[in-house]
Amino acid sequence: MKTILVVDDFKTNTIVFSGVLRRSGYDVLEANSGAEALKYCDGRTIDLMVSDFNMPGMTGAQLVRSVKSFGGYQNLPVIILSSEKGDKVRQEARDAGAYGWMTKPMDIEKFLKIVKNILNT
C-alpha cells in the first residue's frame, strides 16, 4: 500500500483530503503544520506528499526544501495545493522541488487521477 503524507494547517482540509485518499486505497499520514510533517520524515516510507502552500511557520515551499534535505526523501514527489494563483508562488514551489501544483478548490477526480499517475497505481 502506498503512503501519502497530507499537510494542511486547516484541519478540515486535512480530514477531507485524507478521507478521499483512504477511500481510494492509500495509507495516509496527517500533519497540520510543516513542523508536524517533518516528524514523519524519520526513515519511514512516504510515497507522496500533498501540502498546502500558505501555512503559518513554514510555507509549502519551505517544507519541500526541508523534507528533500533529509536522507531518503530527495526524490519524494510533492503536490502543492493552494488557493494562490500567482506565478511567483508556483515558481517558488517548483524551485523548492515540488512536482506539481493544484489550485483549491479542486476537482477531486482530477486530484485522484494525478495521484494515481504519480504513484503508478
80-88 long-range contacts, CB within 8 A, separation 24+: 80/51, 80/52, 80/53, 81/8, 81/13, 81/17, 81/50, 81/51, 81/52, 81/53, 81/106, 82/52, 82/53, 82/54, 83/54, 84/53, 84/54
What domains can be seen in the chain, in order of their start residue? 3-119 (3.40.50.2300)
Q: Is the pLDDT of residue 121 over 80?
A: no
Its pTM surpasses 0.85:
yes
Residue 53 reports pLDDT greater than 90: yes
- Average pLDDT (41-69) is 96
pLDDT of residue 86: 86
Question: Does residue 46 have a pLDDT over 90?
Answer: yes
Query: How large is the average pLDDT for residues 88-110?
Result: 93
Q: State the pLDDT confidence band at 105, using cuts at 50, 70 and 90.
A: confident
